[in-house]
Structure 1
Amino acid sequence: MDDTIIAGSATITGHQTDPIEAYVARPQRPGPRGGVVVIHHMPGYDTATKEITRRFATLGYDAVCPNLYSREAPGADPDDAAATARALGGVPDDPLVGDVGGAADYLRSLDSSNGKVGVIGYCSGGRQAFLAGVSLPVDAAVDCYGAFVVGTPPEGHPLQVRPLVDRAPDLRCPLLGLFGADDQYPSPAQVEELDAALRDAGKEHEFHTFEGAGHGFFAVDRPGYRPAAASEGWSLIGDFFGRHLS
C-alpha cells in the first residue's frame, strides 16, 4: 500500500467564521476516504500531536488538527500558548464545538472525501471529542482518557469546565473510549459512571481500560507513555474508524 502523504499548515474556518491555524495531513493517493479531526491535548498544538495527525494520513485518512489556541496565542510557541490557555481555564465549550465543526466541514469539502468524519482527542481533547460527539453530526468519536466528562475539576486545576455526563442521551455517533486503570482524571469509577449513563441511554459505545497505564499513555514524549497500551489502543482505533468511516 502506498503510504506517501502530504502534510503542512493551513488556515481553516472555525467558530463564528474565525480563521484558525490547522495542521493537515493527507494520503497522496486519490480517494474517496474518510476524514479524522484530531483534537490536541492541553499541552497544545505540539510536535507530538502533529505526528499523530500524520499517522492517520498513513492509515488512509485525511486528517486535520485545529490549533485551539489560535485566538489566545496566535503564532506562539506551543508551550507559551498552552500556558495562556491554562491561565484562562482551557478552551470554552462553544468555540471548541465551532472549531471542530469547521474542521469537519473542511474535511468534507475535500475532493477525496467520502463524506464521513470521525473525531479523536487526548486528555482535555478526549472530553472535547465526547463534546463533539454529542453536539455535531460526526460519524465516530474516540475519547482517549478525557478528563471531566464525569466529575468537576478540583480547585486550582488548570482545566475549569463542567461535566458532560448528563449529555450522554445526546450522543450522535458510536463512541470508543480508551482509559488507564491508574488514572485519576478520569478515575475508573468515573469511567464506569459514563459507561452506565451511555448504556442507560442505549448509545453505541465500547470502553477499554488498560492495566498499568495512567493518564497520557499514548504520549510518546512523556513519562506516562506505555508502549503496550498505546500499541493495543492504536489497533482498536484503527478497527473502530475502519468500521465507521469507510
Structure 2
Amino acid sequence: MQNIKTEFDSLLPPLKLDRRGFIVTTLAGGFTLAAGPVAAQTAIHTDSDGLVAGEVKIPVADGEIPAYRAAPAGKTGLPVILVVQEVFGVHEYIKDVCRRFAKAGYLAVAPELYARQGDPSRYQDTGRLMTELVAKVPDGQVLGDLDAAARWAAANGGSRARIGINGFCWGGRIVWLYAAHNPAVKAGVAWYGRLVGDTDPLHPTNPVDIAGQLKGPVLGLYGGQDAGIPLTSINTMKDALASGPAAAKASSFIVYREAGHAFHADYRPSYRREAAMDGWKHALDWFGRYLR
C-alpha cells in the first residue's frame, strides 16, 4: 500500500496554497436556472440513507473550491469516481448522480469547476452562461482541480489505486482529456461529450487529438440524434482510438440511435428514459470491470 501511495502522489503536482477570494465558495441548491424548467414528473431523487453525503471543501492550487461528496457510510478504501458537471455546474442533478454512484459502492465527488470564474446557478440564459462564464474556464485549470479532487478523495476514504471519471456534456469532453492527463485513472465514462471542434488558447485540445494518450479506457455514451455531435465525429474518434495504445483500443462507444443530446438529464425535456437507464447500467458495468 505504501508503494501505491508514493506512486499516486508522484503523479500529481504538489499544492501551493495562496488563498484568495473565489466567486463561488458554496454550492447552489436546487437546479440551475439556465437549464430551464424542471420536469418534476421525471426528475429522479436518490436518498442519502446509508451514505455520508454533502458539501465539502477541496484544497486547490490557489485556495479551495466547493464540491459534493457521497460515499457509503463507514467504509474506507473505496473506489473513487470523479463526477464532472454538465455545462450548468454542480446542481441537484449532479449531486444526485453522486448519490447514485455511492449507492453502488463508490466514493463519488463532484468539484465545482467554475468556482473562480462565476456562479452558473445565477444565469437564466444558456447563451450568456456559455459566453460569459464557461468560455473563460481554462482546460488546464479544470484538470488541475480534478487532480486536487482525486487527492482529496484518496485522503478521505477513497482508494489511491482505483480512480474513475464520469462526465456529462461539457464534462463528457473533460472525461476524455482527463483520462489522457492522469496516469492514475483506470476508466472513464463520457456522456455525449464533444470530440472535435474549434480550439482556442484556453481550450487548445480536442479529445480526438489525445486519443493516443489515454491512460485508462473510456466508454462513450452518445445520442444518434445529437445535432451538436454528429456520427461522423464519433467515427473519427473511433479511427483515432484504433491506432492508439491498449487503453485507447479498449475504449468503446454505445450510440442510442433515437436519443439526442443530454438524454440522461432526467430533469429536462431531453431525457430519454430507456437510453438513460441502459447507459447507466453500462456505466456501472464499465466501472465495475476496471475499478473493482
Global fold match (TM > 0.5): yes
Match of 1:210 in 2: 256
Report whether the alignment pairs 1:179 with 2:222.
yes
Specify which of 60, 72, 81 is matched with residue 27 of structure 1: 72
Equivalents in 1 of 2:158, 2:139: separation in Å? Answer: 30
Map of 1:10 onto structure 2: 56
Q: Aligned match of 2:104 in 54, 59, 64?
A: 59
Shift of 1:113: 2.6
1:235 match: secondary structure: helix
Mark the CA change 1:37 to 1:186 in structure 2 (over 3 Å): closer, same or farther.
same
8 Å CA contact 1:119, 1:140 repeated in 2? yes
Q: Distance in 2 between matches of 1:112 and 1:68?
A: 20
Secondary structure at the aligned position of 2:65 is classed as strand
Gap change, CA 1:23 and 1:68, over 3 Å in 2: same
- Deviates most, 86-95 or 42-51: 86-95
Instruction: Name 2:165's counterpart in structure 1.
Output: 119
* Structure index of larger Rg: 2
1:166 to partner: Cα distance: 1.5
Matches within 5 A, 1:128-147: 128-137=174-183, 138-147=185-194
State the alpha-carbon separation in 1 of the partners of residues 100 and 209 from structure 2: 33
Given that residues 78 and 159 in structure 2 are in contact (C-alpha distance below 8 angstroms), is that contact kept between their aligned partners in structure 1?
yes
Number of aligned residues:
236
The CA distance in 1 between the partners of 2:74 and 2:242, in whole Å, is: 40
* Cα deviations by residue, 1:105-162 (Å, 9 ceiling, x for unpaired): 1112224536311001100100011110111121111111002x21238xxxxx9765
- Find the residue that maps to 1:201 and give its secondary structure: coil
Residues 215 and 84 of structure 1, relative CA distance in 2, 3 Å threshold:
closer
Deviates more, 1:121-130 or 1:202-211: 202-211
Gaps of 5+ in 1: 154-158
State the 1:79 CA deviation: 3.9
**Matched residue of 2:221: which SS?**
strand
Residue 237 (structure 2) pairs with residue 194 (structure 1): yes
Per the TM alignment, residue 102 of structure 1 is displaced from its structure 2 partner at its CA by 0.8
CA 118–17 in structure 1, closer or farther in 2 if over 3 Å, else same = farther
- With normalisation by structure 1, the TM-score equals 0.89
Please give the alpha-carbon distance, in whole angstroms, between the structure 1 residues aligned to 2:161 and 2:62.
21
2:279 maps to 1:236: no
The letter of the residue matching 1:11 is: K
- In the TM superposition, structure 1's runs of 4+ consecutive aligned residues that sit over 4 Å from their partners are 81-85, 159-162
Residue 104 of structure 1 and its aligned partner are, at CA, apart by 1.1
Structure 1 residue 80: Cα displacement: 3.1
Once the two structures are superposed, what CA deviation does each residue of 1:27-60 show, in whole Å capped at 9, x if it has no partner?
Answer: 1142332010000010111111111111111110
Seq. identity, %:
34
Cα RMSD (Å) of the superposition? 2.2
2:137 alignment partner, one of 74, 87, 91: 91
Structure 1 contact 69–85 (Cα < 8 Å) conserved: no
Question: Structure 1 residue 37 and structure 2 residue 82: aligned?
Answer: yes
TM-score by length of 2: 0.75
- Compared with structure 1, are the counterparts of its residues 87 and 143 closer, same or farther at alpha carbon in structure 2 (3 Å cutoff)? same
Counterpart of 1:165 in structure 2: which amino acid?
V
- Alignment partner, residue 156 of structure 1: none
Q: 1:54 to 1:161 in 2, by over 3 A?
A: farther
User: What letter matches 2:65 in structure 1?
Assistant: I
What is the one-letter code of the residue matched to 1:187? P
For 1:79 and 1:214, the matched residues in 2 are separated by: 26
Distance 2:129 2:260 in 1: 26
